[in-house]
Amino acid sequence: MCGNLAFPFNEKGLWCHLNVRSLPPHFDEVTALIRFNKLEIFAISETCLNSSWNDHDDYRLFQQDREMSASASASTSTPCGGGVPVYPKSNLQCERITFDTDIRLEHICLQVKQHQAGP
């Protein structure tokens, strides 16, 4: 799912969501997709990432890893599935929004503002 994101003052940015079903083996292809399409925001689901991942190039990382239950983590040494990272460009003003809820959802909500002024 890809589309346009309307910013104030008629600026537009491209965003995209992709379900990759394990990002590590597809990282080079995903990086090429981001660069080729000059995406402003790239969201991914089913990544199988953990907390060792960081920002990448000109993109900041906002990440929600899947919480593994005790029975699921005991049944496999390498848990896979789930995980939701969002990579907005570093020049976007983004703030993560959290909600108090007892419902366990894999989600990220970001408030995205107009581009920061450059040098």
- 41-45 and 84-88: which strand pairing? antiparallel
Q: So what's the pLDDT on residue 95?
A: 92
In the DSSP assignment, the letter for residue 50 is -
CATH of 2-115, one of 3.30.2140.20, 3.60.10.10, 3.40.50.720, 3.40.710.10: 3.60.10.10
Bridge partners of 12?
6
Q: So what's the pLDDT on residue 117?
A: 58
Q: So what's the pLDDT on residue 104?
A: 73
3-state SS, residue 7: coil
Divide the 119 residues of the chain into consecutive groups of 10 and give the mean pLDDT of each group. 48 78 85 86 82 81 71 49 83 87 78 66
Q: So what's the pLDDT on residue 77?
A: 46
